[in-house]
Structure 1
Amino acid sequence: MNCTLLLVGTELLNGATLDTNSIYMAEELNKYGIGINYKLTVGDSLNKIVDAITFGKENSDLVIMSGGLGPTDDDLTKTAVSKYLNKKLLVDSDELNELKEKFKERGITFLNKNLKEVEKPEGAVSIKNDVGMAPAFFIDGIVGFPGVPRELKNMFPKFLKMYSEEMNLNIDPIYVKDLLTVGIPESILEEKIKSLFKDPNIEYEFLIKDYGIIVRMQSKMSNKNTVEKIKEKIYNIIGDCIFGEDNERLETKVVNLLSEKNYSISVAESCSGGMLAEKLISVPGISKIFKEGIVSYSNEAKINRLNIEEKRIDEYGAVSKEIAKDMLDGLNSDVAISITGFAGPTGGTEEKPVGRVYIGIKVKDKIVIFEHNFKGDRNRVRAKAVLQSLFELCKILEEDE
């Protein structure tokens, strides 16, 4: 069983509105084993919507539409469906009375144009909207929902339950396994493990996110054991670069490890400019262990706030393993992280090019300094430095027994 998602609205094309509905629908469809063949976005044009419906019907079992069910002239979804099916638009008297009652309860004047909200193609089944005005409708393998996310979320599960029963679906949910990696380029990652990707029943992909590179395997739940066996083989090859699976995030993992050990943490940042502190502070419960975050961007701040001797900065340079260590010494907590580097686009030298970053980590009496050369623009270098620092700390904490 497969489908086409059809998102209706010019605002989705011109960037005025961000599409979140398709993400939600994909997650719900996974539970029923319904794959998505295509995702189309179309503006508020009757002919273009009809063309998109035609494409979806020709290339999938089910067309799922979102948007265009409101009362205004640019709400054309139902008109397009009726044109495609060559069916009249009708109004159910009970649904009309229910709609008018909703308007009355909200103290809103009902206008003739609001009739559009309960129109539906002849023969269509309505899906009750408990949180908004317009009900969804289903007819001949086409289902239409309002574009308002909370209304979609109210009706979409109802539809899937109804549809699975009507179609007598043998539900085999989609199983997705994500392995989250840090510190290894995508090209090298693929080269190391692509020989494992041979099973035609499993889809494989690499996704670059701000929290690392994802190795994703997707199949049916009936193939879960096969996916898990491949996962173990991947761990055997690149396990030292994997920090977690699925919805795990490094900052959460680090905070959990610190909390378990009752360790306090402080950070001193130069080129990352507070990004590391922000990551840690985003985790609930961090207030119990986070002591301070210092953005010692200038040499003056390093001297005055972290008590680093000026002569050491003159001797080694602010971007150096020596100053990374001194930054750690200026912090008073069980665990500390320091970051200093050249984020670019200027500031680097031949000896220490743009992208050179030193990361210092202290856990009790143990101090380790890491040198990295990150690629990318200014923000990518900063983000990679933060991610790498959390990854290195995570490994040290896991070894710290």
Structure 2
Amino acid sequence: MRCTLILVGTELLNGATLDTNSVFMAEELNKAGIKIDYKLTVGDSLQKIEDALKFAKKMSDLVILSGGLGATDDDLTKEAIRKFLDKKFIIEDKELEEIKEKFRKLNIQFLNKNLKEVQKPEGAISIKNDVGMAPAFFVDGIAAFPGVPRELYNMFPKFLNFYTKNYCKDLDPIYIKDIIISGIPESILEEKIKGFFIEPNIEYEFLVKDYGIIVRMQTLDRYKNTVEKIKEKIYNSIGKYILTEDQEKIEDKIFKLLEKRNYTLSVAESCTGGMLSSTIVSVPGISKFFKEGLITYSNEAKIDRLNVNKNLIEKYGAVSKEVAKEMVIGLKTDVGISITGIAGPEGGTKDKPVGLVYIGVKVKEKVLTFKFDFIGDREKIRRKAVLHSLFELYKILEEDE
């Protein structure tokens, strides 16, 4: 089963909007065993959407579009599909009443132009929109969804369940195993594990991310056991660099270790300005162990709140391993993290460039500091600092007895 995704919207081409819909759909399609061969992004042009449909239908069994189902003049997806299939538009009375009721509940006037939201090509099957206005629909191997992510997320699983039951009864699901690795260069990593990648039915790839490297193995579900055997070999070879698998987040793993050891956790942040605390408190149940998060952005705050020695700051600077160590020691907690650095775009010097970050980690009496030279814009540097601080803490917690 082959599939092509078509993302519709000029805002996706000019950078005004980030495409997250295709990522979500790809993950869901992979689980079902439907492989994506092409992903096309087109602007709000009737002709370009038609051209994309012609290509996609020629190359794929299933074509999925996202975007352009609204009521405005630049919402052209339905018209493009109608023309491509040479069908007329219909409006079902039930669906018209449903959307009018939604407008009434929101105290919004229903205009004639809103009829466009429930138009669909003749013969199309609708997918109910529980969180928005326009329903999605499926007709002749073409599925179309609104571009609003929460609406797509609501309807896409329902469509996929319908589609696989009726059109993919003998489909072999796709199995994907991600192993997330940090602390080893990509070239060395490849040399250490490439000898394991010899099975012909498995696709391998390395994905470099801000937080490390994803080693991805993708195959059909029937070869799942083979992938697990390869994973075991990877663990035996470079286990100390492996952080997580699949969708498991490092903060979730830290939570499990804190729970196991009944440790409290506190953090002191400078350049990350609360991003670390926000990441930690995203974990359900963490309130049992997370004691406090301090944003000690100024030197005065470091001195007053964490008892950092003023002379150390004057001698080494606020961005230094000495200050990072003092910051984490100043936290009255079992486990602590401190971060101090230069996120940019200004503030860097020859000796201390933008991207320089020091991280302190404390687990009971053990205190370690780490130096990083991150590359990227301000947001990326801050995010990398957060992720690497969590990774370093996790490694130490795992070793802690």
What range is the shorter-chain TM-score in? 0.7 to 0.9
- Contact 1:339/1:357, CA 8 A, preserved across alignment: yes
Deviation digits for residues 337-375 of structure 1 (CA, Å, limit 9, x no counterpart): 23344555544455x665554433222222233344444
TM-score, L = length of structure 2: 0.84
3-state SS of paired residue (1:172): coil
1:327 matched to which residue of 2?
A: 327
Q: 2:241 aligned with 1:241, yes or no?
A: yes
- Contact 1:205/1:217, CA 8 A, preserved across alignment: yes
2:128 matched to which residue of 1?
A: 129
CA–CA separation in structure 2 for the residues paired with 1:274 and 1:25: 32
CA–CA separation in structure 2 for the residues paired with 1:57 and 1:346: 53
CA–CA separation in structure 1 for the residues paired with 2:227 and 2:12: 35
Deviation digits for residues 279-330 of structure 1 (CA, Å, limit 9, x no counterpart): 3233333333223333334443333332233334445554444433332332
| Matched AA of 2:68 | G
Counterparts in 2 of 1:158 and 1:198: CA distance versus 1, 3 Å: same
CA–CA separation in structure 1 for the residues paired with 2:153 and 2:24: 8
CA–CA separation in structure 2 for the residues paired with 1:354 and 1:392: 21
Counterparts in 2 of 1:234 and 1:300: CA distance versus 1, 3 Å: same
3-state SS of paired residue (1:6): strand
- Contact 1:302/1:308, CA 8 A, preserved across alignment: yes
CA–CA separation in structure 2 for the residues paired with 1:80 and 1:102: 23
1:171 matched to which residue of 2?
A: 171
Cα shift at 1:239:
1.5
1:46 matched to which residue of 2?
A: 46
Counterparts in 2 of 1:175 and 1:346: CA distance versus 1, 3 Å: same
CA–CA separation in structure 2 for the residues paired with 1:17 and 1:371: 35
1:69 matched to which residue of 2?
A: 69
- Contact 1:118/1:135, CA 8 A, preserved across alignment: yes
Counterparts in 2 of 1:400 and 1:118: CA distance versus 1, 3 Å: closer
| Matched AA of 2:128 | N
What are structure 1's unaligned runs of at least 5 residues?
A: none
Q: 2:24 aligned with 1:24, yes or no?
A: yes
1:360 matched to which residue of 2?
A: 360
Q: 2:104 aligned with 1:103, yes or no?
A: no
Query: Within 5 Å, which residues of 2 pair with 1:168-207?
Result: 168-207=168-207
- Contact 1:79/1:89, CA 8 A, preserved across alignment: no
What are structure 2's unaligned runs of at least 5 residues?
A: none
* Residues matched between the structures, number: 396
CA–CA separation in structure 2 for the residues paired with 1:78 and 1:323: 60
RMSD: 3.1
Query: Within 5 Å, which residues of 2 pair with 1:84-99?
Result: 84-85=84-85, 87-91=86-90, 95-96=92-93, 98-99=95-96
Per mean C-alpha deviation after superposition, the further-off stretch among 369-378 and 61-70 is 369-378
CA–CA separation in structure 1 for the residues paired with 2:306 and 2:113: 67
CA–CA separation in structure 1 for the residues paired with 2:382 and 2:89: 58
CA–CA separation in structure 1 for the residues paired with 2:277 and 2:321: 21
CA–CA separation in structure 2 for the residues paired with 1:377 and 1:133: 38
- Contact 1:342/1:348, CA 8 A, preserved across alignment: no
Counterparts in 2 of 1:392 and 1:112: CA distance versus 1, 3 Å: closer
| Matched AA of 2:336 | A
**Identity of counterpart residues, as a percentage?**
65
Per mean C-alpha deviation after superposition, the further-off stretch among 133-142 and 215-224 is 133-142
TM-score, L = length of structure 1: 0.84
- Contact 2:64/2:142, CA 8 A, preserved across alignment: yes
- Contact 1:299/1:318, CA 8 A, preserved across alignment: yes
| Matched AA of 2:3 | C
Counterparts in 2 of 1:272 and 1:119: CA distance versus 1, 3 Å: closer
- Contact 1:127/1:159, CA 8 A, preserved across alignment: no
Counterparts in 2 of 1:193 and 1:377: CA distance versus 1, 3 Å: farther
CA–CA separation in structure 1 for the residues paired with 2:94 and 2:267: 62
CA–CA separation in structure 1 for the residues paired with 2:134 and 2:353: 59
- Contact 1:362/1:368, CA 8 A, preserved across alignment: yes
Deviation digits for residues 37-69 of structure 1 (CA, Å, limit 9, x no counterpart): 111122222211110001101221221223333
Whichever of the two has the greater Rg, that structure is: 1
3-state SS of paired residue (2:198): coil
Query: Within 5 Å, which residues of 2 pair with 1:212-291?
Result: 212-291=212-291
Counterparts in 2 of 1:316 and 1:9: CA distance versus 1, 3 Å: closer
